[in-house]
Structure 1
Amino acid sequence: FPITAGRAARKTAGMPHRRPTGPASRLLPGIVALVALLLAGETCARDQGLPAARCGIEKYPEFLILEKEGKLAEKASLPMRQLGRREMKEQSLDPASTFKLALSLVLLQNGFDPGTAINVADPYIPNTPRSIDLSEALLYSSNDYFRLLAREKGPEFFRTGVNGLDYYAAPIGEDWLGPPSSSDDIVHGGNQRITPARQLLFMERILRQEIAGSATLLEQIRWPRSPEDEKVRPDISLFGKTGAFDQTVWFVGGMRNSDSYRVIVVVRRGHYKTRREAIRLFYCRMGQALPEHPLIPE
């Protein structure tokens, strides 16, 4: 640097620090707040017609949260909001039981009655063996329910159907269910992987009912709300699906009313028991209290 620049710097360094006054002083708090929002990942404008989130990422640093909001009557949505482990956004992960949403859409598009009762014996479902319908199969993530249907209809039926949904970034190959080539692995998508960002787009299309069968599927994956929240906002409904497999824990879902929607993907790497945290995180990001529910932790 020129000698004069060094002298000027030393001279300036010795001057007393002055706080900004006038218009600059009034702008400073706003600038600080904007920087804080940028650092927190809350840069996207919120839809004022939906409840505000009741928490950030502070208590859940191991999670990635992706969210989008929009108006059902408008094609464009607000930019994606990202919180937490952003490096996971484009990681290829096992979809676990969230893949059952795609399986269900394939069934519904081919005339499947969601009230169809199938006898299951999943050990984690209360009071089994017993018969359950599609809604309960999705709620409890019954593997028996979908495996029995896969054996009946064949893996090719679902492979063709899922490819038609544009669920994965590329079509599923014929080798998606590894040896022995049975239907057991179909409940988590076989050897296929998906990114959290793509999960968000798929769930958004379901909430917007852009995929055939979405309206019926949404009725099967409703999540409850507390009486207090129902009273304040009776127009809102919650939807979601959990998933946990191969050290990957998901919650995909969202909320909507007749005008707006908010879609969310919550994901982390770890033990399946962290599903409880994923459920808590879903509710607080939807601005809702935890109600009583078989899958909701105390």
Structure 2
Amino acid sequence: MFRFSEGKNSALGRFLLFQLSSLFLFTPLNSQNFSPKTITTNSEELILVTEVSSGKPRSEKVYGNADFLKREYSPASTFKTYLVLSLLENNIIDPKEKIECADKHIPNSPRLLDLRDALFYSSNDYFEKVFPKLGKEKLDLTLHKIGYLENYKSDLKVQDWWIDLTGLKHGGRIRLTPKSVHSSWSKIFENGYGLPKDLIEEWKKTLFWSECPEKSANVYGKTGSWEGSFWFQGALVKSENDYIIYTILNRNKSGSRTGTIIRFYELAGCKVPSLE
């Protein structure tokens, strides 16, 4: 089960209150319909959705507070998605190797985590331990190669965004628009980076969250929480030509990591996984 510490009120309770305060009605996905009908939003939320389906035009929709689209935010721990790509690309780590980590926010910590676990729980300890083998220069090369820093001038140097090892967990000084964050995530599932297929498949394995039998699909995702932003990037994938990509940005003061996870699974029409 998810057992993240969220204070006195449960994440589920806050989520239900959030639903009651929504400005629009929400119709969840059903087992016969893979794509969302309508989506609930309020003034503190932005949701970007990209749908790809064989034989149908690509669909890109935005729900919620459009003012958020004009601003730049820290990608928070969604940045670790691309840190993992650099680790894999440079053969720095065996994805199955388990490392003992002692993050306070992770259940049953200290505990052994492999690469997929480290992303799922967003372990800072794990990445601080493996990063010295990679180094900021190789990471910077990966980020430039895939266009992750496209919001910036092409001559951006690593010292312009790098802070220190602690700042690695949220991408240092990097600030991106929600559309840029969403675009980077979407490209993973459409192989928009032109990377070798075996590298893409290994990358996706680390991003796997759960099966969704309700939709005959798999869920991939990454959370992020920093500077008042709560992100969840999710992908509901039936096949390489049939999937829906979500980016959720919640700026509510009562928002939480767990609440944003629950939000995604409600949108996707899938059961929240009971994984420890």
TM-score, with normalisation over the residues of structure 2? 0.77
Please report how far the alpha carbon of residue 155 of structure 1 lies from its aligned counterpart in structure 2 after TM superposition. Answer: 1.4
Q: Deviations over 1:80-101 (max 9, x none)?
A: 2111111112321000000000
Within 5 Å, which residues of 2 pair with 1:75-86?
78-86=58-66
Of residues 258, 261, 264, the one that matches 1:276 is: 258
Are 1:248 and 2:229 matched, yes or no? yes
Please report how far the alpha carbon of residue 55 of structure 1 lies from its aligned counterpart in structure 2 after TM superposition. Answer: 6.0
Closer/same/farther in 2, CA of residues 194 and 53 from structure 1, 3 Å limit: same
Please report how far the alpha carbon of residue 106 of structure 1 lies from its aligned counterpart in structure 2 after TM superposition. Answer: 1.0
Counterpart for residue 221 of structure 1 = 207
Within 5 Å, which residues of 2 pair with 1:128-139?
128-139=109-120
Within 5 Å, which residues of 2 pair with 1:227-246?
230=213, 232-234=214-216, 236-246=217-227
- Answer with 1 or 2: which has the greater Rg: 1
- How far apart in 1 are the matches of 2:71 and 2:59? 20
In structure 2, what residue type is equivalent to 1:124? Answer: H
Are 1:142 and 2:123 matched, yes or no? yes
Does structure 1 conserve the Cα–Cα contact (< 8 Å) formed by 2:218 and 2:237?
A: yes
Q: Deviations over 1:180-201 (max 9, x none)?
A: xx32211211101111101111
Please report how far the alpha carbon of residue 273 of structure 1 lies from its aligned counterpart in structure 2 after TM superposition. Answer: 4.8
Are 1:65 and 2:47 matched, yes or no? yes
Structure 2: unaligned runs, 5 residues or longer: 1-22
Q: Secondary structure at the match of 1:88?
A: helix
Are 1:127 and 2:108 matched, yes or no? yes
Within 5 Å, which residues of 2 pair with 1:45-194?
51-53=34-36, 56-58=39-41, 60-71=42-53, 78-111=58-91, 112-169=93-150, 170=152, 171=154, 172-175=156-159, 176-178=161-163, 182-194=164-176
Q: Deviations over 1:214-264 (max 9, x none)?
A: 321221222225xxx51x543x11111000011111001211112311111
Please report how far the alpha carbon of residue 174 of structure 1 lies from its aligned counterpart in structure 2 after TM superposition. Answer: 2.7
In structure 1, what residue type is equivalent to 2:245? Answer: V
Q: Deviations over 1:161-194 (max 9, x none)?
A: 221121122354232223xxx3221121110111
Closer/same/farther in 2, CA of residues 248 and 153 from structure 1, 3 Å limit: same
Are 1:196 and 2:178 matched, yes or no? yes
Q: Secondary structure at the match of 2:70?
A: coil
Closer/same/farther in 2, CA of residues 130 and 118 from structure 1, 3 Å limit: same
How many pairs were matched up? 241
- How far apart in 2 are the matches of 1:272 and 1:156? 37
In structure 2, what residue type is equivalent to 1:177? Answer: W
RMSD over aligned Cα atoms:
2.9
Does structure 1 conserve the Cα–Cα contact (< 8 Å) formed by 2:215 and 2:270?
A: no
In structure 2, what residue type is equivalent to 1:252? Answer: Q
Does structure 1 conserve the Cα–Cα contact (< 8 Å) formed by 2:87 and 2:134?
A: no
Larger proportion of strand: 2
More displaced stretch, 96-105 vs 122-131 = 122-131
Does structure 1 conserve the Cα–Cα contact (< 8 Å) formed by 2:209 and 2:221?
A: yes
Counterpart for residue 17 of structure 1 = none
- How far apart in 2 are the matches of 1:262 and 1:277? 20
Please report how far the alpha carbon of residue 78 of structure 1 lies from its aligned counterpart in structure 2 after TM superposition. Answer: 2.2
- How far apart in 2 are the matches of 1:115 and 1:272? 36
Identity %: 28
Within 5 Å, which residues of 2 pair with 1:1-12?
none
- How far apart in 2 are the matches of 1:288 and 1:239? 12
